[in-house]
Amino acid sequence: MKLWDKGYSIDQLIEQFTVGNDRAIDLHIASFDVQASKAHAKMLQETGLLTNSEWMDLKQALEEFDALLQNDGFEIETEYEDIHSKIEAFLIEKTGEAGKKIHTARSRNDQVLTAMHLYAKEELSTVKNLVQNLFHTLLDLAEENKEKIIPGYTHMQIAMPSSIGLWLSGYAELLVDDLHCINAALKIVDQNPLGSAAGYGSSMPINRNATTQSMGFETLKYNVIAAQMSRSKMERSIQSALSSLAFTLSKLSMDLCLFASQNFGFIQLPKELGTGSSIMPHKNNPDVFELIRGHCNKIQGSAMETVMISNNLPSGYHRDFQLLKESVIGNFQNIKSCLQIMDHTLPQLTYAQDVCKDAQYQYIFSVELVNELVKKGMSFRAAYQQVGKEIMEGNFEPPTTLEHTHEGSLGNLCLEQIKNKFEQAF
């Protein structure tokens, strides 16, 4: 069945190409199309376009279909183009004429757009909760490991003293920025586009405020052209938010791979969390972090892919938009997995103690000595030159104590302030 069927067949190869992977992808948005269809049918009854009996029959049939979606073996057969045509066929089979009426004052564009808005709203909320879990894990580990000094790096050369706590709480605070991006995307998706039909509204006396309230959207996308143009605009905002979060996770993953190597040794990966080599019996590889890094880099690439697919298209619907669903849905699944795995893995790592007692790290304390001289009255430039000369002549003696007191430094991580900042953003 095709929603646009007019009694003739089209070329089989063309049909296969245009349907693409929609049958598999649409399983992710099926329940949301049911939700939107129920809201639409209820509104049609309230405005007199359906009888109360027709509405009750459709409601029961839609709930029955929603129950079928819970079965593992549920599929969209090849006789249907997508989930939307399968739902309508089911409704016609179950309710007869009422099923034929449900498409009154809406288009398939309407259905896809509304289902995607509802799907994205739920997925972004789920991602927010997973970010919250990871944030608290990072902050707890930062508190536990704030006394464990490690070298900080610039240009991949040892630079100044850092700590496990400073490093981990840095990533925790970055998640606040990612949360702002997610919230911005949520604001964009939390607008009801239903009723825009093919993008130019309808002459039927529908009530779009009613469906907005029924589906739990914060507001209505009033202008019907604006509603239709939210297709691709919505995906771009989602991909941008997920890309921001993916950047944070990818960077953290790279640090973890680096710090777990024998050349650094700042963290140790338990054998249960690593993978081995088929030829080298000593290996315990951080594949988990490499895959998080790879998935997150792929997500960042998808943001540009979305831009390129949708860029410079004129207003109105275009079939190009079909290609955006798979990327968005796939990225939601991947980012959720990455967040869960990162949150699962970090507490199981062993974080090294007394790393910086190794002589190879003595020069990270050079600025400490410069600052001590400055505190005693020497100008910074003179102190810098004196310590530099001691290093060049091999006379440098690193200080034995660290005194960092300003906000966000080694001795003052401001974990409570970072926590408050996250909670306000959340």
Per-residue burial over 14-47, b = 16 or more CB atoms within 10 Å of its CB, e = otherwise: eeeeebeebbebbebbbbbbbbbbbbbbbbbbbe
Q: Are residues 97 and 119 in the same domain?
A: no
Domain membership flag for residue 322: yes
User: How many Å apart are CA 113 and CA 390, to the nearest integer?
Assistant: 68
Predicted confidence at residue 82, as pLDDT, reads 83
Q: Are residues 169 and 294 in the same domain?
A: yes
Q: Compute the C-alpha angle 419/356/347, nearest 5°.
A: 40
Reported as a pLDDT band with limits 50, 70 and 90, residue 73 is confident
Among candidate residues 66, 81, 101, the one where a domain is terminated = 101
pLDDT at 21 over 90: no
100's enclosing H/E stretch is: helix 97-101
Q: What pTM, to 2 d.p., does this model score?
A: 0.92
The stretch 141-154 carries a mean pLDDT of 95
User: How many domains, in total, are found in the chain?
Assistant: 2
Strand partners, 409: 412
pLDDT at 244 over 50: yes
For residue 72, give the CATH number of its domain: 1.10.275.10
pLDDT at 209 over 90: yes
Q: Are residues 163 and 50 in the same domain?
A: no
Domain extent, residue 242, equals 109-356
Reported as a pLDDT band with limits 50, 70 and 90, residue 426 is very high
Domain membership flag for residue 317: yes
pLDDT at 304 over 70: yes
pLDDT at 241 over 60: yes
Strand partners, 163: 149
Query: Regarding predicted confidence, which is higher, 190 or 16?
Result: 190
Tokens of 295: 């998935």
Among candidate residues 52, 67, 101, the one where a domain is terminated = 101
* Other Cβ atoms closer than 10 A to 331: 25
User: How many Å apart are CA 370 and CA 381, to the nearest integer?
Assistant: 9
Q: Are residues 193 and 95 in the same domain?
A: no
Of 170-184, 195-209, 242-256, minimum mean pLDDT range: 195-209
Per-residue burial over 365-382, b = 16 or more CB atoms within 10 Å of its CB, e = otherwise: bbebbbbebeeeeeeeee
User: How many Å apart are CA 156 and CA 166, to the nearest integer?
Assistant: 18
Q: Are residues 158 and 266 in the same domain?
A: yes
Give the CA distances from residue 274 to residues 39, 134, 293, in Å, rounded to whole numbers and listed in that order. 49, 20, 15
Q: Residue 356 has what DSSP assignment?
A: G
Query: Regarding predicted confidence, which is higher, 26 or 93?
Result: 93
Q: Are residues 169 and 32 in the same domain?
A: no
Domain membership flag for residue 179: yes
> Which residues have a Cβ under 8 Å from the Cβ of 326 and sit 6 or more positions away?
21, 25
Predicted confidence at residue 4, as pLDDT, reads 46
Predicted confidence at residue 2, as pLDDT, reads 54
Tokens of 369: 């000595």
Pairing of strands 149-154, 267-268: unpaired
Domain membership flag for residue 371: no
Q: Compute the C-alpha angle 382/384/386, nearest 5°.
A: 70
Reported as a pLDDT band with limits 50, 70 and 90, residue 321 is confident
Q: Are residues 91 and 122 in the same domain?
A: no
Asked if residues 363 and 399 have their Cβ atoms less than 8 Å apart, the reply is no
> Quick check: helix, strand or coil at residue 58?
helix
Strand partners, 18: none
> Which residues have a Cβ under 8 Å from the Cβ of 389 and sit 6 or more positions away?
none
Query: Residue 297: exposed, middle, or buried by beta-carbon count in 10 A (0-12, 13-18, 19+)?
Result: middle
Handedness of CA 375, 379, 380, 385 (dihedral sign): negative
Q: Are residues 82 and 114 in the same domain?
A: no
For the CA atoms of 275, 276, 282, 285, what is the dihedral angle to 10 degrees? -40
Residues of the chain above pLDDT 70, percent: 95
Predicted confidence at residue 26, as pLDDT, reads 85
Domain membership flag for residue 369: no
Q: Are residues 91 and 115 in the same domain?
A: no
The stretch 342-357 carries a mean pLDDT of 94
